[in-house]
């Protein structure tokens, strides 16, 4: 589909670049330093070499990150089982915890701050690399005392407290398999994931704080464990201090387990391709998919994305708004520690007790690299500039953005108000199965609003039409033509589903499931999931295009556009809008919004209906689940809802169908 006239993204898919790097930014960047070491003059030359010679590139990344192996690998890449089953660092022996903590001991990094934490109630804790190393060792010893070891799956069902990072690293240290669980999951979602991996233990919290209230977690875990006989131990962290149900012999208080454990522990020597973690992602139908990641895969891709995209240095303080149950939680831990930098955890609501909580966190902890979602920005910009201007945000030098497609108005507001037109917005898109990004802006190239200025080095990205031909200036499928080190090693105990999901469309090509376009200047745009795409009278329409128009209206804070069956056009557009507080939904407003889409997108793409709702179904990392909106509205089975933080809105959407 050619770009429709009057697009909200501007003329040729994008406007002029609004941020350009200074000579100083370029000179001091990790990416430029990497290029200089290898005699590479331009970013485009780097990207081309990284996909023409992927073995050279990923070896260069391992060297750049100073990844240490107990025993060296004999082959960087093995494709003997096909591109779908690429194996990396073959024959190598390492444990990624060695590269996160062990190797820093006895160096200046040992006394650096590894983790800063702030709770919703205002408590603050700080752990150095040495502190974190010792606490991880104590918990690793405790896990071994319980009989846990290499190959055992252990669940993580905890809020964003320092102990969740300690637990994550302790599981890895003993050679176990981490099973991250969203802290807002219900019992069914927890049980499904624990049972699928036959987990032997679960880290849990008594509860968590949200908007000043203590939310119990242990009772939810207990209900889940009735269906998971494989779990022999529950390690319980005391967060809220509330009373909890107790199962003698199975349940253990965290502090009791580690009280007498020594601060030194042996790190299990694992194969480079040994499973490190299984992270589950929700599908439209069927059970969740467990993406398998390894010691030499997921963490290496995390750290590479941080250096080549976010320009992370060991002097940086990173705060990414996430939960440990989502990919970006482990991503933050592994990547930050490999780089010897500092991470910030915040446990609580981002707008409590006031809407300026995030800006106050940046000021207090001198955050230099911030990660947000467009959905958060859309919700917070409704409160205007004043909450931002209360705080000194001068420490910020990079803002990362992921989780959802941008609309121009929120992007421009954020760039002007928070970034002060100084700090670049580094768009980032990829997924759990990738260990990070396909596309990610960098600090060497100019940045246009809402755009990605490049793929990541090492990611052989392209846009294909329905016949598998590469296209530019035209909507197509976002694909990856070659393997990369962070690629999932398949779905847990379900290889055929993995192949069907990513490799069945075009032979030897990973089809990611996003619509994308590359403009005449080489900027990339992601328009939403390809299974979210609306096809009106033969014209393919990315939902983000309609949503961008609608949220430009001052009376709309968020929107989700879906396609519904239409006897004439095949599909018609229905838009769900969230209004600011105290805004009254009226038929006049519906008409205004419909007309706005007509003016911007053309009459053939006018919404059939505009519906007003209190909220849109979202995951904890703020992804709007359009497939849930669509299936609920059509009265169909919405599939797995366990990732939603607000499942109650599904009934509200369902009630709109008439």
- Please report, for the domain that includes residue 548, its CATH number: 3.30.300.30
Q: What pLDDT is attached to residue 6?
A: 34
| Within a domain: 291 | no
Global model pTM greater than 0.95: no
What does the pLDDT look like over 568-582, one tens digit per residue? 777 889 999 999 998
Cβ burial of 144 (10 Å; 0-12, 13-18, 19+) is middle
Element (H, E) at 395: none
Banded pLDDT at 658 (limits 50, 70, 90)? low
Encoded tokens for 397? 């030098």
Give me the mean pLDDT over the 124-135 stretch: 98
What does the pLDDT look like over 169-204, one tens digit per residue? 999 999 999 999 989 888 888 998 999 999 999 999
Banded pLDDT at 532 (limits 50, 70, 90)? confident
- Long-range contact pairs involving 603-609 (C-beta distance under 8 Å, separation at least 24): 604/536, 604/537, 604/539, 604/569, 605/4, 605/536, 605/539, 605/541, 605/546, 605/573, 606/573, 607/546, 607/561, 607/572, 607/573, 607/574, 607/575, 608/564, 608/566, 608/572, 608/573, 608/574, 609/574, 609/575
Q: What pLDDT is attached to residue 453?
A: 97
| Within a domain: 168 | no
Share of the chain above pLDDT 90, in %: 80
Nearest-angstrom CA–CA distance, 53 and 152: 36
Cβ burial of 366 (10 Å; 0-12, 13-18, 19+) is middle
Q: What pLDDT is attached to residue 600?
A: 74
Q: What pLDDT is attached to residue 263?
A: 98
**Does position 604 have pLDDT exceeding 90, yes or no?**
no
Q: What pLDDT is attached to residue 623?
A: 79
Q: What pLDDT is attached to residue 544?
A: 81
In the block, which residue shows the tokens 């509330």?
242
Domain span at residue 604 reads: 533-654
| Within a domain: 614 | yes
Nearest-angstrom CA–CA distance, 365 and 353: 18
| Within a domain: 196 | no
Q: What pLDDT is attached to residue 415?
A: 98
Nearest-angstrom CA–CA distance, 573 and 608: 6
Higher pLDDT, 50 or 7: 50
What does the pLDDT look like over 38-68, one tens digit per residue? 999 999 999 999 999 999 999 999 999 999 9
Give me the mean pLDDT over the 600-629 stretch: 86
End-to-end CA, the chain: 31
Q: What pLDDT is attached to residue 384?
A: 93
Average pLDDT along the chain: 92
Q: What pLDDT is attached to residue 641?
A: 82
Q: What pLDDT is attached to residue 657?
A: 77
Encoded tokens for 11? 């003329």
**Does position 322 have pLDDT exceeding 80, yes or no?**
yes
**Does position 11 have pLDDT exceeding 60, yes or no?**
no
| Within a domain: 28 | no
Give me the mean pLDDT over the 402-431 stretch: 93
Banded pLDDT at 21 (limits 50, 70, 90)? very high
| Within a domain: 633 | yes
What does the pLDDT look like over 274-304, one tens digit per residue? 999 999 986 444 567 899 999 999 999 999 9
Give me the mean pLDDT over the 252-269 stretch: 98
Q: Going by C-beta distance under 8 Å and a sequence separation of 6 or more, which residues neighbour residue 479?
A: 461, 462, 463, 464, 506, 509, 510, 511, 512
Give me the mean pLDDT over the 322-344 stretch: 96
Nearest-angstrom CA–CA distance, 575 and 596: 12
| Within a domain: 292 | no
Banded pLDDT at 14 (limits 50, 70, 90)? low
Q: Please give the DSSP secondary-structure letter assigned to residue 197.
A: H
Q: Which of 350, 374, 353 has the alpha carbon at shortest distance from 362?
A: 350
Q: What pLDDT is attached to residue 5?
A: 33
Give me the mean pLDDT over the 645-656 stretch: 91
**Does position 412 have pLDDT exceeding 50, yes or no?**
yes
**Does position 541 have pLDDT exceeding 50, yes or no?**
yes
What is Dmax (Cα atoms) for the chain? 72
**Does position 221 have pLDDT exceeding 80, yes or no?**
yes
What does the pLDDT look like over 346-381, one tens digit per residue? 999 999 999 999 999 999 999 999 999 988 898 899
Banded pLDDT at 624 (limits 50, 70, 90)? confident
Banded pLDDT at 2 (limits 50, 70, 90)? very low
Q: What pLDDT is attached to residue 345?
A: 98
| Within a domain: 5 | no
Number of domains in the chain: 1
Nearest-angstrom CA–CA distance, 489 and 655: 41
**Does position 531 have pLDDT exceeding 90, yes or no?**
no
């Amino acid at each position: 589909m050619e770009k429709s006239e009057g697009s909200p993204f501007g003329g040729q898919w994008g406007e002029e670049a609004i941020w350009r790097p200074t000579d100083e930014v370029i000179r001091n960047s990790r990416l430029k330093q990497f290029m200089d070491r290898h005699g590479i003059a331009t970013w485009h030359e780097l990207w081309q070499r990284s996909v023409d010679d992927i073995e050279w590139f990923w070896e260069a990344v391992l060297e750049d990150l100073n990844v240490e192996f107990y025993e060296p690998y004999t082959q960087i890449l093995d494709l003997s089982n096909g591109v779908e089953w690429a194996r990396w660092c073959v024959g190598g022996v390492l444990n990624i915890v060695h590269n996160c903590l062990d190797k820093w001991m006895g160096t200046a990094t040992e006394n650096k701050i590894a983790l800063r934490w702030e709770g919703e109630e205002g408590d603050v804790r700080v752990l150095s690399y040495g502190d974190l190393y010792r606490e991880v060792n104590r918990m690793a010893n405790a896990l071994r005392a319980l009989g846990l070891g290499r190959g055992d799956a252990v669940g993580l069902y905890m809020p964003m407290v320092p102990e969740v990072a300690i637990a994550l690293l302790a599981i890895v240290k003993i050679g176990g398999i981490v099973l991250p669980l969203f802290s807002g999951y219900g019992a069914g979602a927890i049980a499904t994931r624990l049972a699928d991996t036959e987990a032997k233990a679960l880290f849990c919290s008594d509860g968590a704080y949200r908007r000043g209230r203590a939310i119990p977690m242990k009772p939810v875990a207990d209900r889940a464990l009735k269906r998971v006989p494989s779990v022999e131990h529950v390690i319980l962290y005391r967060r809220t201090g509330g009373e909890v149900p107790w199962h003698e012999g199975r349940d253990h208080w965290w502090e009791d387990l580690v009280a007498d454990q020594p601060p030194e522990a042996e790190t299990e020597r694992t194969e480079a391709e040994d499973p490190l973690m299984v992270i589950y992602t929700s599908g439209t139908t069927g059970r969740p998919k467990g993406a398998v990641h390894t010691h030499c895969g997921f963490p290496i891709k995390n750290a590479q994305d941080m250096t080549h995209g976010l320009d992370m240095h060991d002097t940086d303080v990173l705060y990414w708004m996430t939960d440990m149950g989502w990919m970006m939680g482990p991503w933050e831990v592994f990547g930050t520690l490999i780089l010897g930098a500092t991470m910030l955890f915040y446990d609580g609501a981002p707008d409590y007790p006031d809407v300026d909580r995030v800006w106050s966190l940046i000021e207090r902890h001198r955050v230099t690299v911030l990660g947000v979602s467009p959905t958060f920005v859309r919700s917070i910009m409704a409160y205007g500039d004043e909450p931002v201007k209360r705080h000194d945000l001068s420490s910020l030098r990079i803002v990362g953005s992921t989780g959802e497609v941008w609309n121009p108005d929120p992007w421009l507001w954020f760039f002007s108000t928070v970034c002060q037109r100084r700090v670049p917005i580094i768009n980032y898109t990829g997924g759990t199965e990738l260990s990070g990004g396909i596309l990610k802006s960098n600090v060497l190239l100019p940045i246009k609003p809402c755009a990605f200025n490049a793929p990541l080095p090492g990611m052989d990205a392209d846009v294909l039409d329905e016949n598998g031909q590469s296209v530019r200036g035209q909507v197509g499928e976002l694909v990856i033509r070659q393997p990369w080190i962070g690629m999932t090693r398949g779905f847990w105990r379900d290889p055929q589903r993995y192949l069907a999901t990513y490799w069945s469309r075009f032979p030897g090509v990973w089809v990611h499931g996003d619509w994308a376009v590359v403009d005449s200047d080489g900027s990339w745009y992601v328009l939403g999931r390809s299974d979210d795409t609306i096809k009106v009278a033969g014209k393919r329409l990315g939902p983000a295009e309609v949503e961008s128009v609608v949220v430009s209206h001052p009376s709309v804070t968020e929107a989700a556009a879906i396609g519904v069956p239409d006897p004439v056009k095949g599909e018609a557009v229905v838009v769900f809008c969230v209004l600011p507080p105290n805004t009254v939904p009226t038929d006049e407003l519906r008409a205004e919004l419909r007309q706005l889409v007509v003016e911007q997108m053309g009459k053939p793409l006018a919404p059939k209906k505009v519906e007003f709702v209190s909220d849109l179904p979202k995951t904890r990392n703020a992804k709007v689940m359009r497939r849930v909106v669509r299936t609920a509205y059509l009265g169909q089975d919405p599939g797995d809802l366990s990732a939603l933080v607000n499942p109650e809105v599904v009934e509200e959407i369902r009630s709109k169908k008439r």
